[in-house]
Chains A and B, each alone.
Chain A
């Protein structure tokens, strides 16, 4: 088993875990954590499958992933600002109403 195969398999499992968390989590911040976990998995997969040049991984893929990391943190920061405002306005940390409990 090569390094590339190991990371593709690990990233797939991490992506699955992220999808699971995104669906089942109630707390919006945990959904955000799950989204960030998913994006890390996507980045690792992207770089791994892009192949290598004599001087390491494909530089275009590296630049794309670097861009992705920065965009991810910008989106997360905005989402957190939305979440904090939501809590200030409604006191809720999930998108489901309080009486929607067991459903």
Chain B
């Protein structure tokens, strides 16, 4: 069991400390997912037909913190617990698949990365952290892995430090999700402050008891925990860190968004009982989940339509469809299938980004307006886009079902799917069938198909996503993860869930064929407006938040404090100058002695008792 976490950690340490060359780093990094695969594979195989999970734990901390007061606050126990259920198995296998694909792609696709050992080491650390988050049974341990993954993500995205745009994107990737990580921490702290317990096995049974948190506190904790997951998933309004990270290497960008989607799936599945427990008296947490997911599903593909950066557009569209999977978490009986769907969308999104990275590298530009003739020149890389789109949107219908709570759920699913596919296929049509313009220093005739190491991994990931999507239409497959009965949605709804993405794809094709020039100009106008708007927002944030505080500190440090200190310093200096003067020693000593005696006498009458 420890093999799953310890072996990749050892590989990380070896990469960080001992490897210098690119080839050695790439080869050694493969050992991490390989060794973890052995562990996960064995555990999965052992529990294939058995409903009981595979449990293992190591007692990390066990402290008796108090001798009185409520019993739950008298100890602080942290066990590094690992639990492999059917669901965690598939999440971990998806993480390993992503890791293998990114590592294979990076052998050629990330040749330009500075410090390859660091790059591969951070990929390994991110994988280890993902496995830790998915498998852990204690919220504090989960947060340890979560924090490690956050640090690894930031360093991975900012690996190309010399590139200003990449560094700015990485800084955003540090700052924006920090807010949501903070929310997660606050949620965990709130739960601890009420229950004195962070082990989910012991915490969840207490949720319905009288002691502990009231409905309001429980609802707040649930919303904070969800905010933690939403931030890392890139749901609206936390999407900026993922879309702006497109300036980083495609391998890093793909790994970060794929693995974080899996971690978010793991977290949401674990904490959903907390949201559900508060839902019995306070429906707000699940409403927040549903509304955030629905808004993200509609808004983010729209944002994806605005820009010309292919990787950014695909990221926005991918987040939008993943948000539809999150919507499933707000429905009873759809939680485990929703987590599997989120894993499938993670695979598809990684496939999309890797393929887009290959296309951008081949056509020497990240902008879709400067891409074209891809189907003829880079067919394998380009085919990954529609295949990944199928994997992304294919199974949403299976999880959406037909027993929807409100009419706007239907609208969110249909609009989200349609807009997501519109944004995605817009990129596909421009890159596949658009003209490849000649640019300064770029000859279209020199564009060649990407080597197999780069072209095949995205295709494979997309294919796995499609397979999972197809399997999700089987109620038996859905029931395998939660041992609950599931029903197929009615045909009319099924038609709607399949029709909506098809409509989006067809609309993209129609727009491409009918008004390519007009569409290009429109898109350019939208991109211009978007850039202007975000620039304004940045300036407003700087002027409204950062500047006043820094001005205040300047005022404090350079004027008030420095003035006060200089007066204080002068006073001390003047005091010290007395020592340089010739003073009569005996009278001074006698005076000091008298003062000390009087003070001591006044302060402590007991001295003379």
A binds B: no
Interfacial residues, chain A to chain B (CB-CB below 8 A)? none
